[in-house]
Structure 1
């Protein structure tokens, strides 16, 4: 009887494995920013609907920028998050155990370096010795490095003032800084409210991707849940691209920002989402090498170590 009982337990356990592996986590915590595709998904309750039958709850946490979001991911308070291209490099340099799940297509028009309307500065070269506000470790950190290099300057030629977007906006409007490296929708807002002048966007300098990242423990432990999220991102991205007006209304309601800012943002933003490729990893490696060279990060980062096992054979 003892052998029969033991065998029954083994069979029962094996039958339960697929269910447990799919819903290993009963709560999925997602970190997002205001212009992220996740804002649209959150507003439409898309993931909640998809996960309802699995008994999985979705928890949302808003962050002002990518570096702060990835801090949450690194300590385990966030399972999946969306950031620009630079934050994952800083996170990897800090030994965060993350993986890249997917990326947006390049959106170089959605970030820029701006100056006040009456500023005597009209080019990146004229930023020498000037105070430039930016969120340290954010995607515009890479834009600033690349723009300065293209203008024949180094990062040491300017005075970086590291501030999160809300504080940077206040400093910019008070004249406490000479320029601001920023992304949408803040870029659209400051351009319309203060008539800030754009001295460069990321066009021709850096690709400016958005990346969807996960804690490795979550991505590898609950791959079906992670794949559901990626598929939702792809489908919602297609919807947003073909429903610009509805998307603008939705984002305006979700963020409290004027719909005019979102019209401007969406006119230069493509939400198309794709799985990772060696080519995109190579571009991230270029970013990492640039930051390492000027000592923005300690040592070297091998970006493709953050490859998801689901993509390893691709």
Structure 2
């Protein structure tokens, strides 16, 4: 047998290189951080359109991916399966998501804006009061903010939940049914609400004023929030800047949103005119509001178990 002699020094150098190379390769392949944002037709559209968030997060090595959703429940389904890390949503979807076991973490909350959701009826409808809705077909997106609104609106006007003939449809399908006359009323939020008022001459039977607060929430997953507090702090700071600018420049905000949404300027004007802008931290008082919603949905057997919303609270909540 022929033997091959390798000098000891060369052998040790080769071993050292073999040990060092995987370490260097692993370092080179360390993935940069990413923030996957799910958005609806709201102020996150402005952030995406302006590209300001990408600029703020670039020094941290964070890349962004944006996905648009038509409603909150599907956004939170995406969170549950690990497809997004952050998004904006109404009051009710987080309740359904938490009850379904989603790893939800509340990040921030908007001010209340009850005029931004309402019950619509066709302009010639014989329905003149909320009490007239008894037994009528009412379209809404199941598990969305308007679901809780219709529950509390019925209660305020002496109707039981069982008196409501709810037809669960996402916004686009609900509008089509409303136009055809397949449903008698539609419970919806802006800008879909404003679009129906302007283009269909739909009549507002009642909005949420004096019924529910209608906050929106920014959310993440518990794992992402724990590991990326710096990223989420920058996102909420940038949202706050848009809030402040939009409050002082409503016409300009409407013009920008109209372009981004692909909707007529009058629709955006109406949406912006009745909205209240402002984003703040999650507090125990705010989550107490969410707990009432959760308890209501459990009592109505709309969620399978009683939940404690504080389990989705951010660290250091006041």
Answer whether TM exceeds 0.5 for this pair.
Answer: yes
Distance in 2 between the 1:25 and 1:63 partners?
25
Q: Are 1:29 and 2:47 matched, yes or no?
A: no
| Match for residue 241 of structure 1 among 244, 247, 264 | 247
1:160 match: 166
Q: How far is the alpha carbon of 1:24 from its aligned partner?
A: 7.9
Distance in 1 between the 2:56 and 2:267 partners?
31
Q: SS of the counterpart of 1:147?
A: helix
Task: Output aligned runs, 1:272-283, within 5 Å.
Answer: 272-283=278-289
Task: Output aligned runs, 1:263-278, within 5 Å.
Answer: 263-278=269-284
1:38 match: 44
Deviations 1:208-265 (A, max 9, x none): 0010000111110111111111111112211111121221111111110011101001
Q: How far is the alpha carbon of 1:271 from its aligned partner?
A: 2.0
Q: Are 1:176 and 2:179 matched, yes or no?
A: no
**Taking structure 1 as reference, are residues 25 and 229 closer, same or farther at Cα in structure 2, changes over 3 Å only?**
farther
Deviations 1:244-300 (A, max 9, x none): 122111111111001110100111112200001111111111111111111111121
Deviations 1:31-90 (A, max 9, x none): 1101x2111111111111101222211111000000011111111101001000000000
Q: Are 1:304 and 2:307 matched, yes or no?
A: no
Larger Rg: 2
Q: How far is the alpha carbon of 1:148 from its aligned partner?
A: 0.7
Distance in 2 between the 1:248 and 1:24 partners?
38
Q: What's the RMSD between the two structures over aligned residues?
A: 1.7
- Structure 2 stretches lacking a partner, 5+ long: 1-26
Contact 1:48 1:57 in 2 (8 A): yes
Deviations 1:83-111 (A, max 9, x none): 00000000011011111000100000000
- After TM superposition, the score normalised by the length of structure 2 is 0.89
| Match for residue 143 of structure 2 among 137, 141, 155 | 137
- After TM superposition, the score normalised by the length of structure 1 is 0.90
Deviations 1:103-151 (A, max 9, x none): 1000000000011111100111111111100000000001100011111
| Match for residue 203 of structure 2 among 182, 197, 216 | 197
1:64 match: 70
1:80 match: 86
Runs of 4+ aligned structure 1 residues displaced above 3 Å come to: none
**Taking structure 1 as reference, are residues 209 and 220 closer, same or farther at Cα in structure 2, changes over 3 Å only?**
same
Contact 1:132 1:177 in 2 (8 A): yes
Q: Are 1:216 and 2:222 matched, yes or no?
A: yes
Q: SS of the counterpart of 2:303?
A: coil
Distance in 1 between the 2:252 and 2:60 partners?
29
1:228 match: 234
1:6 match: none
Distance in 2 between the 1:37 and 1:217 partners?
25
Contact 1:37 1:271 in 2 (8 A): no
- Structure 1 stretches lacking a partner, 5+ long: 1-15, 17-22
Q: How many residues are treated as equivalent by the alignment?
A: 292
Distance in 2 between the 1:107 and 1:146 partners?
16
Distance in 1 between the 2:288 and 2:32 partners?
32
Distance in 2 between the 1:303 and 1:154 partners?
26
Q: How far is the alpha carbon of 1:177 from its aligned partner?
A: 0.2
Q: How far is the alpha carbon of 1:25 from its aligned partner?
A: 5.5
